[in-house]
Amino acid sequence: MAKLQLQNLRKEYNATTIPIKDLSVDIDDGEFLTFVGPSGCGKSTTLRLIAGLEEPTQGQVAINGKTMNHIPPGERNVAMVFQSYALYPHMTIADNIASPLKIRKTPSGEIQKRVSEVVQKLDLDQSLLDRKPGQLSGGQRQRVAVARALVREPEVFLLDEPLSNLDALLREQVRAELKQIFKSQNKPVVYVTHDQTEAMTLSTRIALLYDGVLQQLDTPYQIYNYPANSFVAGFMGSPQMNLMTLNCKGQQAMLGDFGINLPDLSEIPRQIILGIRPEDVRLAAESDEQVVRGKVILVEDLGKEQLLTVQIEGSEKTLRSLIPADQNWDRDQIALALPNTGLHWFDIDSGNRLH
């Protein structure tokens, strides 16, 4: 049985503010589930409902089969790492880490043992333990916040955008550390972020929310390669997937002067949404059958790759292509191949995946 269960959760603040509309997710022991989505989609509200900082309007939060709806936060045995770290500024680092155990009146010998173990696990410098949080760097404060969560040995770990205050280089380093740390805990981890790279690299599964509704719940591989709808397709992936509304003509969708072969559909619609990731749009070779042409209007140098924005002949639509930096191309007349294996098709009305 799942360790953490969210069943038909709904949260209403008033008739027009409903951050969570109907959410059901089971999270197993050892699973790292990330809620991701744009600002205001309901991901942080979900975390607060699990932690007990908010009460659901409808539905249940259950841990080990026990409903938690009316259990106070301090009695739920969950540990939360906040975006701001929420360390006590007047306490030493050692006292900050030990604070959850002192609140529980844990024997002093057990406190010292568990603090020592978690300090070693996180490779925290012993010399930092007598300092105050204001004397630490952002990365060090982040490790202390994680140490305070680990020392509790909770049933569930909750992390609310814990890397957002770190610079890009440090974020990458700490992200790798977090994955190793929580991999060894064998407890459900619920992580909230708007950063898709964090979601892709950390998670065993991703729950993508939009406007309080679960859009897709799946592994990073499935969400990236088989997005359930056009919103998921456009949100996950950097550079963003090319998404274009095209008119259908016979068995083809028309992109400017060029026909793109439609998949096998029960009924050909009047219009359809085509999606293709920039890395799947490559420079055409003579053997390629499905080719479009156009003019390069923008070049973004990414180091080992270049991101080209191409104005398609006979259309106002543009197509972005990610190609190796050492490849040669003609700015005024570039030919791009669109392999069928990279094409994603979505319904024009619902946005749902067709193929």
**Which CATH class, in words, describes the domain spanning 4-235?**
alpha beta
DSSP characters over 294-340: EEEEEEEE-SSEEEEEEEETTSS-EEEEEEETT----SSSEEEE--G
Three-state SS at 58: strand
- pLDDT recorded at residue 1: 46
CA distances from 59 to 12, 23, 318 (A): 12, 8, 45
Rounded to 5 degrees, what are φ and ψ at 299?
A: -125, 125
Q: Tokens standing for 35?
A: 């809620």
Give the HSE-up count for residue 136: Cα atoms under 13 Å, Cβ half-sphere.
Answer: 28
Residues contacting 3, CB < 8 A, separation 6+: 27, 28, 29, 63, 64, 155, 156, 187, 188
Domain boundaries, the chain: 4-235, 242-346
Alpha carbon distance 305, 179 (integer Å): 28
- pLDDT recorded at residue 355: 85
Check if the beta carbon of residue 229 is closer than 8 Å to that of residue 69.
no
pLDDT tens digit at each of 355 positions of the chain: 459 999 999 999 999 999 999 999 999 999 999 999 999 999 999 999 999 999 999 999 999 999 999 999 988 989 988 888 888 999 999 999 999 898 888 898 998 999 988 888 887 888 889 999 899 888 888 888 888 988 888 999 999 988 887 787 778 887 888 888 888 888 999 999 988 889 999 999 999 999 999 999 999 999 999 999 999 999 999 999 999 999 999 899 999 999 999 999 989 999 999 999 999 999 999 889 899 999 999 999 999 999 999 999 999 999 999 999 999 999 899 999 999 999 999 999 999 999 8
Strands 242-249, 252-255: pairing is antiparallel
Which superfamily, per CATH, for 242-346? Nucleic acid-binding proteins (2.40.50.140)
What predicted TM-score, i.e. pTM, was given to this entire model? 0.91
Q: Which stretches of the chain are assigned E, i.e. beta strand?
A: 4-11, 20-27, 32-36, 58-63, 66-67, 78-81, 156-160, 189-193, 205-210, 213-218, 242-249, 252-255, 258-261, 271-276, 282-283, 291-301, 305-312, 318-324, 334-337, 343-346
